[in-house]
Chain A
Amino acid sequence: MATDIAKIHIGQGDVWLGGTAPAAGGDMTDPTSSTINTMTSLFAAPTSGGTAVGFTNGPATLTYKPTYYNVETEQAFAEVLVIPTAEECSVDFVMLEASYTNLNRAMGQATSEVNAGAPTNNTNFVGGKATVATFLLALNSRKRTAVGYYLLTVYQVYSMDGVGLNFERRKEMQNKVTMRALADVSRPVGDQLFQLAEFTANPA
């Protein structure tokens, strides 16, 4: 049995929110026709762009769960056919940086404004917004060996649970978010939720 310790992955995920999704493939039946997201030089940012979430605490967890329908028959004890009927995807993490952009993404139904005039401020307005804005999520995790990385790109997410912000004397604000994915039906079938790429070398 061939074993490879180098393939055991351990390491944090760095998250970017927003930006432009890598181009969808021209063949709507071929998910591999889509462009693959990459990191820019020195892991500065994903080429999809976006705003870095910054410090996080605890794991950043990708959850993907397909649901299947199993066909049973009288003639066989086990099911003889299985078809997928649904799938769901989300990414959970805890943001420690209470920037207005992070709070905006976490709250979901907020409208932000940067005010450069006196007094300088960045504000989120919340309440009564009827539409849901989705955005791109990119998660980079470098390999433990420092050569190569994983890059998760979820095409359309929104914060499904809003926020629970603790303003506290003895504890840092922990902005826990669950980013749930919507299918992007403008992309090829098979590539409508996310792509997860493993790179064997660092970005040039």
Chain B
Amino acid sequence: MTRRKNEEDNNEEDSQTEMARIPDSATIEPNLDGQAEFQRVPDTVSVEEVPEAETVVVEALIAPVELVVASDNPLTDENVNQETKLNSPIRASHMTVIYRGSADSFRYGPYKFRPGQPATLPSVIAEELLTYPFEKFEVKE
């Protein structure tokens, strides 16, 4: 007739997983003056965008920046005019990579990432990572 239930709560550990929550990240955009502009990037993940599979996002190019020029036209601070700057191919030496998958961590060779924590890679490695046969790689400009 009368029922009581004293349920033992064995689940004190009420820790919430860090599910698909990407914090604000700072993006550094190189410019030709060798200065780095900091730009705040707001949260880019909405519930509709939560990936189902592993995703690696190359967030942006960051300093330092290398200017690649022909060897017979050595580039120095003195002889670079505005036109040269505009026409020179630019290659960032590093890229910021963010892993957005569901696993607790993602490893690529010696590089290890956790969801939402940006990691900086040499650009060669980052580009190599993009060739990995996951479907969900994104490059973000």
How far apart are the CA atoms of A60 and B16 in the complex, in Å? Answer: 24
B118 within 8 A of A: no
Residues of A within 8 A of B103 (CB): 100-101, 104, 112-114, 122
Chain B's nearest CB lies how many Å from the CB of A73?
12
Tell me the count of chain A residues lying within 8 A, CB to CB, of chain B: 41
How far apart are the CA atoms of A30 and B59 in the complex, in Å? Answer: 40
The residues in B between 1 and 53 inclusive whose CB is less than 8 angstroms from any CB of A are 1-5, 7, 11, 13-17, 19-21, 47-50, 52-53
| Cβ proximity bits A70-110 to B, threshold 8 Å, 1 near / 0 not | 10100000010000011010000000000011001000000
A-B contact count (CB 8 A): 106
A68 within 8 A of B: yes
Chain A's nearest CB lies how many Å from the CB of B5?
4
How far apart are the CA atoms of A48 and B47 in the complex, in Å? Answer: 6
Interface on B for A, CB 8 Å cutoff? 1-5, 7, 11, 13-17, 19-21, 47-50, 52-54, 101-109, 129, 132, 134
The 10 closest A-B CB pairs, nearest first, are A49-B50, A67-B5, A133-B17, A132-B13, A112-B103, A117-B109, A114-B103, A116-B108, A131-B15, A115-B107
Additional A-B contacts beyond A19-B47, A133-B16 (15; CB < 8 A): A19-B20, A20-B21, A47-B48, A49-B49, A70-B1, A112-B102, A112-B103, A114-B106, A116-B108, A116-B129, A122-B103, A132-B13, A132-B15, A134-B17, A182-B11
